[in-house]
Amino acid sequence: MPAIRPLPPLVVNQIAAGEVVERPASVVKELLENAVDSGATRIDVAIEAGGADLVRVVDNGRGIAADELPLAVTNHATSKIATAEELERVGTLGFRGEALASIASVSRLTIRSRPEGEEGAELRVSGAASGDVAPAGCPRGTTVEVRDLFFNTPVRKKFLRTAATESGHVAEAFGRVALAHPAVHFTLAHNGRTLHDLPPCPAEGGGSDAEEAQEGAAAELHGDGDADAWRARIASLFGEELAAALIAVRSEDRREDGSVVRLAGFVAPPTHSRSHTRMQYLLVNGRAIRDRALQHALSEAYRGLLLTGRKPICFLRLAMPAELVDVNVHPQKLEVRFAEGGPLYSQVLGSLRAKFLSTDLRPGLPATPSPDAGADDASHAGSGELETWAKRGLSQRRFDVAASSPAAASPPAFRPFPDGGSGSLSMHRFAGASSAPTPAPPQAGRRVDGPDATPTPSPETIRALQLHNRYLVQETDAGLEVIDQHALHERVLYEQLRQRVLAGPLEKQRLLVPEPVDLSPAEAAAVLGRSELLAKLGLDVQPFGGDTVLVATFPAMLRRFAPAEAVREIAAKLIAEGDSPDRRDVLDDLLHTMSCKAAVKYGDPLTDEEIGALLAARRETQDHHHCPHGRPTSLVFTREELDRRFQRI
Ligand code: ADP
Ligand code: MG
């Protein structure tokens, strides 16, 4: 056994890098945090090859004096805290003093900087070897260039994914910092192409959460200017459509010891959701974090409003005195520990519930808060009301009964598509507001649940009984019919789709942010080789480097599925088809797949109005006796047969 000895600094730093620098996105995050901490008003990020070849972050902040440059890249050297006491109340994003040292130990790093009124200087570090500080002409601020990440740690390098995947992670890390600091102008470019240019959205009140939290409980926070600035930043990152739909939330919790915890931000209405939690942005004193408990509070608030597997979208900021949160619990500072988690959980859940109760969230209408809606008006409505509303919301989405239109008075129908496409969404289960055909009428007052809006089916529309959430039983002239709900709905959708697709491309939904989907080489080739055919189905896929495809639009009827899931399933079908000479066959097969995916499932409970709609649609279906796979959609027991079985004849 060799003797115990201290590790050389390079190894120490590489061990730290193992925790801190996982991939290019981690480098971007650390450099961005340094730039923000430096007080910069403009920060430009450029990456090449997903960040593996180059990450460059340029800021116009306060800079580093030439003689301090070597310290900046030394482990455990920081200008941000000096004492253990200060570690208890960190007001900056950085404090560990190890990011630059760690990054430099696994890359070729150049740092160039010039404080106001001083000469610029530059320092190069490559793995263990550090050069000398040399004079360099540069504008005020700091530029850090990180090249050839993991060049000296080949195992780590192997874990890097395609440039597209890595650049996706970089964009996410960039978004998290940019969201937290709307007053700073951020840009992001990949291989020379600008991905984001986020103009500054200064808040009227000014000041970041971190600063505000430092100022203590008395500060007047979250004026409307603040919310507007934030909505503008969200719009430039994630698109106007989402930003406009967001519902503002705000609350203040005064704790017993007099400290104040403020929650402000936005949540998306149930019409906007994701299959993942990556669109759940939670900032604590200006730092984007993940917190299981608060994520749980969020999903609790949406309980009954979203389908299983769908995750809410939120942009929430918490501002609290620094003593209430321990930021020194995670090497990448992605998690924090709250001094009092319970009250925080209740605050988040309570504020959202109260807001939802005072907001009309019906699909097709922009979420309209009532004028008197505040964070603490939960008392207006009991949970029973929420439940009624939630249930109604779900059934409406399922078959898209246009509750706000006069047509809602008549039973909803599985009508064929009209020529315009988006006019009839009747066949789209769970369709969202994005394709609502009519502009929303102005709303006034609190609208938790309007009796006027509920389409009550007249008794004659309820003609069948659902059994075991899978079969519909109804009386017919001849006797008794048992319908297989999934098989019938699949048939109905299939015929509607076939008519529609022969007339023109299917209705599609444009994704807010085109989604990269990683495929196997065979899947990518199959999908890209048939991109024209897929476009007819509303699915626009483009090559995105490697085996990644970029999904820009998506068949509207499959909107409740994650693009990745649907694209992979379609790819599997295409591969199975091989090079079928008959395009019709391939198309037909894809239509089967789509109808099967979009149809109600065994086990799905249906409301009376949904049953009525399904049966009405059946009348317009040519072959409603068989599902597209050839199985029967219903079985008939004649009266005669029943009589015979009961030994009446
Ligand atoms: P930390 O941010 O935890 O202090 P870093 O290794 O990230 O540790 O940075 C070390 C020090 O280098 C910082 O404390 C800061 O003084 C200085 N520094 C790093 N980046 C910048 C920058 N962009 N502008 C000004 N100073 C910087
Ligand atoms: Mg740092």
Among 42, 78, 114, say which to mutate for ligand 1: greatest number of ligand atoms within 8 Å of CB. Answer: 78
Distinct helix (H) and strand (E) counts, the chain: 20, 27
Single-letter amino acid, residue 405: S
Rounded Cα distance between 246 and 637, Å, is 52
35 lines ligand 1 (CB under 6 A): yes
- Among all bound ligands, the one having the nearest atom to the CA of 144 is 1
- Which helix (H) or strand (E) element contains residue 640? helix 639-645
Q: Is the C-beta atom of 96 inside 6 A of ligand 1? A: yes
553 CB near ligand 1 (under 6 Å)? no
Q: What residue owns the CA closest to ligand 1's atom 20?
A: 34
For the chain, what is the mean pLDDT?
Answer: 77
Q: Which ligand is nearest to the CA of 80?
A: 1
Can you tell me the distance from the alpha carbon of 520 to that of 546, in angstroms, rounded to the nearest whole number? Answer: 10
Sign of CA dihedral 617, 621, 626, 629: negative
Expressed in percent and rounded to 5, the helix, strand and coil fractions of the chain are 40, 20, 40
Please return the burial class of 129, using the count of CB atoms within 10 Å of its CB with bins 0-12, 13-18 and 19+. Answer: exposed
Region 211-231: mean pLDDT is 55
- The closest residue, in CA terms, to atom 21 on ligand 1 is 34
633 neighbors 624 (Cβ within 8 angstroms):
yes
Q: What is the pLDDT of residues 287-339, one digit of tens each?
A: 999 998 899 999 888 877 777 778 999 999 999 998 889 888 888 888 889 98
CA of 231 to the centre of ligand 1 (A): 30
User: Average pLDDT of 50-62?
Assistant: 97
Ligand closest to the CA atom of residue 77: 1
Instruction: Tell me, in angstroms, the distance from the centre of ligand 1 to residue 146's CA.
Output: 15
- What do you get for the CA distance between the two ends of the chain, in Å? 96
pLDDT value of position 421? 31
Locate the DSSP E strands across 49-155: 54-59, 108-114, 121-126, 129-130, 134-135, 141-147
> What letter does residue 412 receive in the DSSP assignment?
P
331 CB near ligand 1 (under 6 Å): no
pLDDT in tens, 332-365: 888 889 988 888 998 998 899 888 877 765 544 4
Q: Are β-strands 314-319 and 280-284 bridged in parallel, bridged antiparallel, or unpaired?
A: parallel
Least confident of 23-32, 269-278, 483-492, 620-629: 620-629
Q: Is 422 in the pocket of ligand 1 (CB under 6 A)?
A: no
Distance from the CA of 24 to the center of ligand 2, in angstroms?
15
| pLDDT over threshold 90, residue 443 | no
Average the pLDDT over 370-392 and give the result.
Answer: 34
Site to substitute for ligand 1 among 29, 36, 55, 100, most atoms within 8 A of C-beta: 100
pTM for the whole structure: 0.59
Give, using CA atoms, the residue closest to atom 19 of ligand 1: 34
pLDDT at 66 over 90: yes
Instruction: Write out the residues surrounding ion ligand 2, Cβ under 5 A.
Output: 34, 94, 99
For residue 102, the ligand 1 atom closest to its alpha carbon is: 6
Say if ligand 1 is within 6 A of residue 98 CB: yes
| 14: amino acid identity, one letter | Q
Does the C-beta of 358 come closer than 6 Å to ligand 1? no
* Separation of CA 49 and ligand 1 centre (Å): 25
Cα–ligand 1 centroid distance for 178 (angstroms): 18
Predicted local distance difference test score (pLDDT) of residue 528: 87
CA angle (483, 485, 490) in 5-degree steps: 115
The finding on whether 414 has its CB within 6 A of some atom of ligand 1 is no
Burial 462-488 (b: 16+ CB within 10 A, else e): bbbebeeebbbeeeeeeeebebbbbbb
User: What pLDDT score does 204 carry?
Assistant: 58
pLDDT digits (tens, 9 = 90+) for 568-626: 888 888 877 765 545 566 777 778 888 888 888 888 888 888 888 888 888 877 777 77
pLDDT tens figures, 548-574: 888 888 888 777 777 888 888 888 888
Question: What's the pLDDT at 29?
Answer: 95
Query: Other CB atoms closer than 10 Å to residue 312's CB: what's the count?
Result: 22
For 646, residues 6+ apart whose C-beta sits below 8 A from its C-beta are none
d(CA 176, CA 33): 11
Q: How many CB atoms lie within 10 A of CB 325?
A: 23
Indicate which atom in ligand 1 lies nearest the CA of residue 101.
Answer: 6
The top-scoring range by mean pLDDT among 128-142, 373-387, 505-519 is 128-142
Q: How far apart are CA 97 and CA 260, in angstroms?
A: 30
Q: Is the pLDDT of residue 75 over 80?
A: yes
Structure token digits, residue 428:
């789209």
- pLDDT at position 371, please? 38
Cα–Cα distances (Å) from 37 to 89, 237, 427, 482, in that order, read: 15, 22, 52, 68
Angle between helical axes of 163-180 and 24-37 (0-180°, round to 10): 20
**How much of the chain exceeds pLDDT 90, in percent?**
31
Q: Using a 6 Å cutoff on CB, does residue 105 contact ligand 1?
A: no
Supply φ then ψ for residue 115, to 5 degrees.
-75, 160
